[in-house]
Amino acid sequence: MTKIIGLTGGIGSGKTTIANYFKALGIPVYIADDEARKISETPEIIQSLKTIFGDGVINNEKLDRVKVSEIVFNNPEKLQQLNAVIHPAVKKHFENWVLQHSNFPFVIKEAAILFESGSYKDCDFVITVIAPLETRIQRVIKRDKVTREEVIKRIENQWTDEKRIGKSQYVIENVAIDQAKAQANEILKKITFQ
């Protein structure tokens, strides 16, 4: 039976870098945010989101992510409604994806909100990627071309590293990439024999 390894971490922790490293090793990796983005463009999901948010969030039959983000960022109820549409669709998509990769001993599910969405419950193990706060802030400023204040706001809206670590079996500290890869290799060895 294929084991599911959850991979998560706060914004700027470098979880995508670690996910790409696992991918380079030949391990199937499911990037939940990317798949959610694709799923949110399907006609039935667009219709559901129109019902929740109105026609103003649809532009040329495509979801206007900026408008949706602005709405849900300040409205927890609307965020909950958005998640109630997207999460079950992603869950179903992921289950089908796992079946397509059932010949592998394990697969990785990379998700920023693995714990918040409850999808960690479907994982055999969880790896949390961490990095010092200042490192994370600088990475996101550079990557997203945003202000320090915007990054801090995003970090404050996420779980803390301590909370994630408390629910994880493994932790990778991603400061120097070679050391992070070495930690990933050690974790893979342990998981392979469990």
Residues annotated as binding site for ATP? 12-17
User: What separation in angstroms does the CA of 173 have from each of 129, 133, 166?
Assistant: 6, 12, 15
- For the chain, state the CA radius of gyration: 17
CB atoms near residue 145 (< 10 Å): 8
CB 115, CB 164: distance < 8 Å: yes
Alpha-carbon gap, residue 81 to 65, rounded angstroms: 15
Binding-site entries: 12-17
Strands 106-110 and 125-130: unpaired
* Residue that is written with structure tokens 């409604």 in the block: 81
Residue 127 in tokens: 């790896």
